[in-house]
Amino acid sequence: MKDLFKVNTRTIVATGLGAAIFTLLFMYVKVPSPIPETSFQTAYGVSALFATLFGPIAGALISFIGHALSDAIQYGSPWWSWVIASGVSGLIFGFAFNRTKVEEGEFKGKDILTFNVIQVIGNAIAWIVVAPLLDILIYQEPASLVFTQGVTAAIMNAISAGVIGTLLLVAYAATRTKKGSLSKK
Amino acid sequence: MNPKMKIFSYNSADTYIHRLSGLTKLLCFLLLTFAVMYSYDIRVILAVMAFSVLLMRLSLIQFSQIRVMVIYVLIFLATNAVISFFFSPEFGVSIYGTRHEFARVFGVSLTYEQLFYQVTKFFKYAAVVPLGMIFLLTTNPSEFASSLNGIGVNYKAAYAVALTLRYFPDIQRDYHDIYLSQQARGLELSQKAKFLDRFKNSLLIVIPLIFSTLDRIEVISNAMDLRGFSKSKTRTWYTSRKLNRQDALALGVSALIFLIALGVSLFINHSRFYNPFI
Amino acid sequence: MNPQPVIEFSHFTFQYFSQAEPTLHDINLKIYPGEKILIVGPSGSGKSTLGHCLNGLIPFSYKGEIQGSLKINGHETSTLNIFQLSKMVGTVLQDSDAQFVGLTVGEDIAFALENDNVPCDPMRQRVREVAQMVDMDNWLTNSPFELSGGQKQRTSLAGVMIDDVDILLFDEPLANLDPATGKTAIEIIDDIHKQSGKTILIIEHRLEDVLHRDVDRVIVINDGRIIADMDAHALVASSILQDTGIREPLYVTALKYAGVQVTEDMRAGHIETLQTQFSRDALQTWYGSIQAGDHLNTRPSILTMEDVSFTYDGVRPVLTEINFDIREGEMVSIVGKNGAGKSTLSKLLCGFEKEDRGRILYRGEDIKDKSIKERAEIIGLVMQNPNQMISKPMIYDEVALGLRLRGVPEEEIKPRVEKVLNVCGLAPFIEWPISALSYGQKKRVTIASILVLDPKILILDEPTAGQDFRHYTEIMEFLVEINHLGVTVILITHDMHLMLEYTPRAIVLAGGRKIADTAAAVVLTDAQVIAEANLKETSLFALSHMAGIENGTQFVQGFIDYERRLKNR
Ligand SMILES: Nc1ncnc2c1ncn2[C@@H]1O[C@H](COP(=O)(O)OP(=O)(O)OP(=O)(O)O)[C@@H](O)[C@H]1O
Ligand SMILES: Nc1ncnc2c1ncn2[C@@H]1O[C@H](COP(=O)(O)OP(=O)(O)OP(=O)(O)O)[C@@H](O)[C@H]1O
Ligand SMILES: [Mg+2]
Ligand SMILES: [Mg+2]
């Protein structure tokens, strides 16, 4: 448990660069979805990957900073309720840290399942609980509206994080090398 | 996307606002936005908004600099207004406890309460925008991280923000270069491709970007470790500045506005809402 | 000399976690305070690994197994942590983008002091002082984008010097620097050495460039073992450099061609110390026997630029009215200062960026409307930064990617990929992930991934950065081979040897304008062009003067032709 929240220089650098990628993807790389006017945010795939590799602190900060920054660039000011919800989703994704064997070069059946269960829980809590509650608290939005929005967002983001995150983790696992495995031919 | 875009179009004009330290600006920004976020009193909201538009003039921000953002915000607010009306057309009535209907459209009744609620909300959202823009356009990115540390954010988290600002342009350029070099190897990226293909193709760009970034994380954290990052519990900042009288003035005014907003709700309205209907 | 060494390796062996064999074998080495040491060796021989052992990245960041002992200032390094080591050893990493963590020059230089909690006022004072030493005091508020490669290198240097360390370690400080800036960098390092008496270690492929100033000893590493530890004069007189595939200074090669027996007494380590009295006659006789050939390509032109101008931001021109004409089957260099616009030019040719004015013609036909993909069928570009091209985790897949995207059948892909991997010296690593490669090896992967596509025109941006002589010769000879088969080759390079040796013609850019377009040997003898484009006179030129030969240009051209004939034999 203590290890989960350990922060070293690598975590900080991963956070900084991860947030930069998150910002970029959040603004430009949205995959259009079949439902009009909505799109899948590839950025959540990235925060899920980084959270799994570097832990909950990195995950939380990456989505928080990334979301706040891209809001600020696009709208002039962050919409705090969603920014905080993003941060919460990244934090929960981070519980997959050290729970899979991805660093040892394996990301198969059980690991994929673990990752996706955690990722779905994270999205559910962030978008169905945190975001709507904050919207009601800060902006007094009607509850029926915010919960509908929340459920849609949770589904969309769980699909992004699930598909893209899993693909990225599989690709990452392939680059890991086992002890003593490299020799010249 | 346009690779020529800059993240902060910070312009180093020499105005009162520009001269304030980054820490002051961050604190004032937070105080004023919290005032607006807390209060549901349109008088307070409009007052803060007027004040911030004044500040915007003071800091010589041109409309051309913020045009795109304004359009985005207006689209967002319009959509929000329409959706929230259709979801709960009677929400205003339940808040203010009275009902003054003035028209019916397709069987849905329009009430003054709903109108008042939505107008207030519109301005509540809109009022934070000029504040954010002022902060964004007059704060030197270098000062931002040290200011975060100044308001009590852990220095490591603050440094992560500094790294984001430092490497965002690099990553933007990398993204653009990978996009081009993939095309040069024969990847079809036109808008005509099918949905699934487009999805696969955007992955072909995102994946190398992420993997080269992961490699870079190694090298950069090595470089930082070699220069002693994170060896002690605190750190100092080359860009931090001592606060002067002007900073104190700005902080005082912002704190006053914050307290007034709070006071109006607590002692005059006895709720977060201003209710003109009773 | 002080009997107590600052650095002492004894029976030191290191094996990376993922490797089956040790990368460093039984290293024994003593370095004394105030020495200046140059470390050379082929790509992948373990130079950076040795450096990482000194600064603590091994084992702190790279995991592996260590045997034997390494003492710094008398302390066993295994008992120290990376922060204690960082107070003794300052490292300038090769990748100056990674080293530059601050948002501005001032912040970056101050980084180590910030971490030491130095208060603001003394910190600014100290930053100004150190910035002055490397001549960057007018750039303190500039961001890394506004700096040239050389200025970034200076900033890195200042950032390390600010922390008063005893040992400075430079890992390939010259890669990607233009010749004049590289020369300045060596001078700055030497001045620091003289003023401060620090111990200095330089890892570098460009031997001759480092030897522009004195070094005390040169250490040669091959396959993880130290195979030589001697002064520069003795080294160039021995056969070690040829045996390990490291480029010896050009003037030494010329002496050998002229039949001169290079001995230690000739003090041939630096051109300035070279004693020519014994060799003057031999050089003159040899000069009489070689004559410069005529290189005139009369084939039709394949690529033409007409009055091309370009700017990234609409404000600052990066290329201004560029005109040139490249003929089919030519081999041409594009050279010039850091930031002159060479890489930009290559991007225009490939359609990555669109010219603002002017025309680009392929076989006389404007290619304005051709997409990147269509141009790529004709023109292959190896970009300067390998990280921007690599998109697959495994070497084989990366090289095969272009063929797969073009729908080539898998059974045809395999032999083609294997052939280029061979050419690029990557065959032993065919199943490795790219992340386990050294910098030079990565660069070769990107060259292979373009070579495999068989383009008609090939543009290589800094193909030899970070490469050792043997690998680079292999790649260049392959390029010559395909060039004879009709492929047009354009090289963008800072390596003057490379330009002289392989490309009869050179186009010189400075400040976004073309300032020369002539025979390579002529470029390097024109003082004005050299100064304007930050190039450097070749040492052959100096040699010809020392030997009393009037026409330096003729001598240089004769040398190149002689070498070509040797290779073609
Ligand atoms: N992190 C790593 N994991 C496994 N093997 C590695 C790692 N880094 C380097 N190696 C291997 O160790 C060997 C030596 O690498 P090193 O980087 O020290 O070479 P170098 O002499 O500095 O080469 P270059 O001149 O190309 O930079 C190479 O064969 C490389 O594949
Ligand atoms: N994507 C970009 N956006 C804006 N400016 C750029 C971009 N790429 C390069 N520049 C600027 O254009 C100028 C020319 O850069 P270019 O990379 O072509 O130089 P170069 O001759 O290849 O230099 P080097 O020898 O250091 O590689 C430089 O001043 C550089 O800062
Ligand atoms: Mg190396
Ligand atoms: Mg270049």
Domains and their CATH numbers in chain A: 9-175 (1.10.1760.20)
* A77-93 average pLDDT score: 93
- Distance CA(B243)–CA(A144), nearest Å, equals 47
pLDDT tens digits for range B142-181: 888 999 998 899 999 999 999 999 999 889 888 888 888 8
With the most atoms of ligand 1 within 8 angstroms of its CB, the residue from C21, C25, C40, C48 to mutate is C48
Q: Rg of the Cα trace of chain A?
A: 17
Chains meeting C at 3+ CB pairs closer than 8 A? A, B
CB-based burial label for C2 (10 Å; 0-12, 13-18, 19+): exposed
Q: Is C312 in the pocket of ligand 2 (CB under 6 A)?
A: yes
pLDDT tens digits for range A114-135: 999 999 999 999 999 999 999 9
- Distance CA(C425)–CA(C264), nearest Å, equals 34
* Chain A residue numbers touching C429 (CB-CB < 8 A): 184-185
- Distance CA(C421)–CA(C424), nearest Å, equals 5
CB-CB contact of C269 with C236 (8 Å): yes
Q: Give percent of chain A with pLDDT exceeding 90.
A: 56
Taking 60 as the threshold, does the pLDDT of residue C2 lie above it? no
* Chain C residue numbers touching B210 (CB-CB < 8 A): none
Atom of ligand 2 nearest to the CA of C344: 18
Find the range with the poorest average confidence among A85-99, B115-129, B200-214, C258-272: B200-214
* Chain C residue numbers touching B207 (CB-CB < 8 A): 391
Per-position b or e across C209-232, b if 16+ CB within 10 A of its CB: bbbbbebbbbbbbbebebebebeb
H or E element that contains C342 = helix C342-350
Architecture per CATH, domain C7-247, reads as 3-Layer(aba) Sandwich (3.40)
Q: Specify the pLDDT at position B5.
A: 40
Taking 80 as the threshold, does the pLDDT of residue C360 lie above it? yes
Taking 90 as the threshold, does the pLDDT of residue C167 lie above it? yes
- Distance CA(C351)–CA(C372), nearest Å, equals 5
Q: How confident is the model at residue C272 (pLDDT cuts 50, 70, 90)?
A: confident
Q: Specify the pLDDT at position C368.
A: 87
* Chain B residue numbers touching C87 (CB-CB < 8 A): 228
Q: CB atoms < 10 A from the CB of C163, how many? A: 19
* C444-454 average pLDDT score: 90
Q: How confident is the model at residue A185 (pLDDT cuts 50, 70, 90)?
A: low
- Distance CA(A5)–CA(A98), nearest Å, equals 11
By residue count, chain B amounts to 278
Q: Specify the pLDDT at position B174.
A: 85
For C449, the token pair is: 């991934």
The protein residue whose alpha carbon is closest to atom 20 in ligand 1 is C44
Shortest Cα distance, chain B CAs vs residue C125, angstroms: 11
Please report which residue ranges of C352-491 form alpha helices under DSSP H: 372-376, 395-405, 410-423, 439-451, 469-484
Q: Which of C394, C434, C436 sits opposite A182 (nearest CB)?
A: C436
Answer yes or no: do A181 and C433 touch at CB < 8 A.
no
Q: Is C19 in the pocket of ligand 1 (CB under 6 A)?
A: yes
CB-CB contact of B251 with A31 (8 Å): no
Query: How many Å lie between the centroid of ligand 3 and the Cα of residue C30?
Result: 21
**Rounded (to 5) percent helix, strand, coil in chain B:** 70, 5, 25
CB-CB contact of B51 with B268 (8 Å): no
* C538 Cβ contact partners less than 8 Å away, ≥ 6 residues apart: C250, C496, C497, C500, C524, C556
Q: Specify the pLDDT at position B192.
A: 60
Average pLDDT over chain C reads 88
Q: Which of B128, B162, B168 sits opposite A77 (nearest CB)?
A: B128
* C450 Cβ contact partners less than 8 Å away, ≥ 6 residues apart: C380, C381, C382, C402, C458
For A52, the token pair is: 């799994």
| Mutate: best of B41, B206, B233, partner A, most A CBs <10 A | B206
SS3 state of residue B273: strand
Among chain C residues, the shortest Cα distance to A13 is held by C101
Tell me which DSSP letter residue A33 carries: P
Nearest to A163 by CA among B206, C228, C319: B206
φ, ψ for residue C305 (rounded to 5)? Answer: -115, 130
- Of C328 and C438, the one with more pLDDT: C328
Please report which residue ranges of C217-341 form alpha helices under DSSP H: 232-237, 240-244, 250-257, 280-289
For C178, the token pair is: 């233009």
CB-CB contact of C128 with C106 (8 Å): no
Q: Specify the pLDDT at position B4.
A: 37
For C197, the token pair is: 């008496």
pLDDT tens digits for range C19-38: 888 999 999 999 999 999 99
Q: At what angle do helices B42-58 and B245-263 cross, to 10 degrees?
A: 160
With the most atoms of ligand 1 within 8 angstroms of its CB, the residue from C15, C17, C40, C49 to mutate is C49
The protein residue whose alpha carbon is closest to atom 5 in ligand 2 is C312
CB-CB contact of C334 with C491 (8 Å): yes
pLDDT tens digits for range A173-183: 887 877 767 77
Q: Which of C18, C431, C432 sits opposite A178 (nearest CB)?
A: C18
Per-position b or e across B5-32, b if 16+ CB within 10 A of its CB: eebbebeeeeeebbebbbbbbbbbbebb
Q: Specify the pLDDT at position C569.
A: 58
Q: At what angle do helices B112-138 and B63-87 cross, to 10 degrees?
A: 150
Answer yes or no: do C112 and B234 touch at CB < 8 A.
no
Average pLDDT over chain B reads 86
Answer yes or no: do B226 and C57 touch at CB < 8 A.
yes
Q: Is C341 in the pocket of ligand 2 (CB under 6 A)?
A: yes
The protein residue whose alpha carbon is closest to atom 4 in ligand 1 is C436
Among chain C residues, the shortest Cα distance to A171 is held by C393
For C547, the token pair is: 């030997």
Shortest Cα distance, chain C CAs vs residue B205, angstroms: 8
Q: Is C534 in the pocket of ligand 2 (CB under 6 A)?
A: no
Q: How far is CA C434 from the centre of its chain?
A: 20
Nearest to C219 by CA among C229, C207, C205: C229
Peptide bond between residue C59 and the one before it cis (omega within 30 degrees of 0): yes
* Chain C residue numbers touching B193 (CB-CB < 8 A): none
Judge whether A42 is closer than 8 Å to chain B, CB to CB: yes
Q: Specify the pLDDT at position B242.
A: 85
Q: β-pairing, C24-31 with C505-510?
A: unpaired
* Chain C residue numbers touching A184 (CB-CB < 8 A): 428-429
Q: Tell me how far apart the terminal alpha carbons of chain C are, to the nearest angstrom.
A: 50
AA letter at C21: E
Number of B:C CB contacts under 8 A?
Answer: 153
* B31-39 average pLDDT score: 91
Atom of ligand 1 nearest to the CA of A184: 29
pLDDT tens digits for range B106-121: 878 889 999 999 999 9
Q: Which of C20, C428, C430 sits opposite A181 (nearest CB)?
A: C20
Architecture per CATH, domain C301-540, reads as 3-Layer(aba) Sandwich (3.40)
Judge whether C78 is closer than 8 Å to chain B, CB to CB: no
pTM, full prediction: 0.87
- Distance CA(C563)–CA(C559), nearest Å, equals 6
Query: How many Å lie between the centroid of ligand 2 and the Cα of residue A156?
Result: 40
Same fold, C7-247 and C301-540: yes
Taking 90 as the threshold, does the pLDDT of residue C180 lie above it? no
Judge whether A167 is closer than 8 Å to chain C, CB to CB: no
CB-CB contact of A18 with B214 (8 Å): no
Taking 90 as the threshold, does the pLDDT of residue C438 lie above it? no
Shortest Cα distance, chain A CAs vs residue B220, angstroms: 7
Per-position b or e across C427-455, b if 16+ CB within 10 A of its CB: eebbebbbbbbbbbbbbbbbbbbbbbbeb
H or E element that contains B188 = none
Q: Which of C56, C388, C406 sits opposite B186 (nearest CB)?
A: C406
Answer yes or no: do B210 and A46 touch at CB < 8 A.
yes
Domain boundaries, chain C: 7-247, 249-289+541-569, 301-540
* C287-307 average pLDDT score: 77
Among chain B residues, the shortest Cα distance to C86 is held by B226
Q: How confident is the model at residue B193 (pLDDT cuts 50, 70, 90)?
A: low
DSSP lists the bridge partners of residue C89 as: C167
- Look up the ipTM and state it: 0.88
- Distance CA(C470)–CA(C369), nearest Å, equals 41
Q: How far is CA C535 from the centre of its chain?
A: 14
Taking 80 as the threshold, does the pLDDT of residue A38 lie above it? no
pLDDT tens digits for range C192-245: 899 888 999 999 988 999 999 999 999 999 999 999 999 999 999 999 998 898
Answer yes or no: do B164 and A164 touch at CB < 8 A.
no
Q: CB atoms < 10 A from the CB of C364, how many? A: 9
Q: Is C62 in the pocket of ligand 1 (CB under 6 A)?
A: yes
